[in-house]
Amino acid sequence: MINNWLVTAWLASPLAGEPPYLDGILAWELAYRLGACHASKTGRWTPPEGIADFPVPLAKRTIGGYDVNCCSAPILPPLHAPEWIEYTSGRFEASKLALAIEPECRKMVTTASGTYKSRHSPERVRLADRVCWFVRGDKKEIHKLLKSVHAIGHRRDVGYGLVWKWTYEMTEQDYSIFAPCDGSRVLMKSLPICESLKNVRGYRLSYGGWRPPYWHPAFFAEVAIPC
């Protein structure tokens, strides 16, 4: 049954990087279950027509000629949670690993670029207890996908962004794209610049993705981002 919901991911560990969009999480999980992640590899080189539009259990609205999912940007709690910078490092110890390989099987590998390049990358980490999204969709189908999502954000492979439970709270109004505030409308979701934003406030102009997959350059445009 389609309704308005406040979806909350309660975290058991600090969040690394920026919180993700919920429709992006649902699309990735659905693609994984359908085997699309194994059947073919999608990268920045993939043309737009080669990217499947997975039917996530969210309502859609047409705004400025674009069909967008009814899902707000991620919302962190208003409290000033502690945050810091941590570094993720990686180094290919060629001199040590070579000792485990027979001399006739050894070969040259590049460590200046590619898979074996050394790295020491900064990562923003926040001690947030939850991440929330306003959505309009089918709660039962949403939960079927989210119950298998045990971590969000960056560096999930080393324990950041662990989710210990998902909760759903029904809301009277649809706050997934716009929300009323002092007689006007406030933007709640990243949208491409269009005429529909003429009387909307609470956003900043930027350049980036507006639909899943948000990282793909084919869907980059001048966008309004909630702030």
Q: Are 65 and 159 within one domain?
A: yes
Q: Are 78 and 98 within one domain?
A: no
227 residues of the chain, pLDDT tens digit each: 789 999 999 999 999 999 999 999 999 999 888 877 666 677 777 787 777 788 899 999 998 888 899 999 999 987 777 889 999 888 877 777 777 878 888 787 777 787 788 888 899 999 999 999 999 999 999 999 999 999 999 999 889 999 999 999 999 999 999 998 887 889 999 999 988 888 888 899 999 888 888 888 888 989 999 98
Structure tokens given for 60 = 């859609």
Q: Are 217 and 135 within one domain?
A: yes
- Tell which residue, 40, 55, 35, 9, has the closest CA to residue 153: 9
- Tell which residue, 215, 135, 197, has the closest CA to residue 167: 135
Q: Are 11 and 71 within one domain?
A: yes
Find where tokens 């991620």 sit.
Answer: 74
- Alpha-carbon 182 to chain mean position: 30
Q: Are 156 and 73 within one domain?
A: yes
CA distances for 24 relative to 6, 89, 117, 200, angstroms: 16, 27, 29, 24
Q: Are 73 and 88 within one domain?
A: no
Q: Are 137 and 119 within one domain?
A: no
Which residues form the domain of 90?
Answer: 83-124
Query: Can you give the pTM of this predicted structure?
Result: 0.85
Find where tokens 């954000």 sit.
Answer: 153
Peptide bond into 78 cis (omega under 30): no
Domain count, the chain: 2
Q: Are 145 and 172 within one domain?
A: yes
Q: Are 116 and 51 within one domain?
A: no
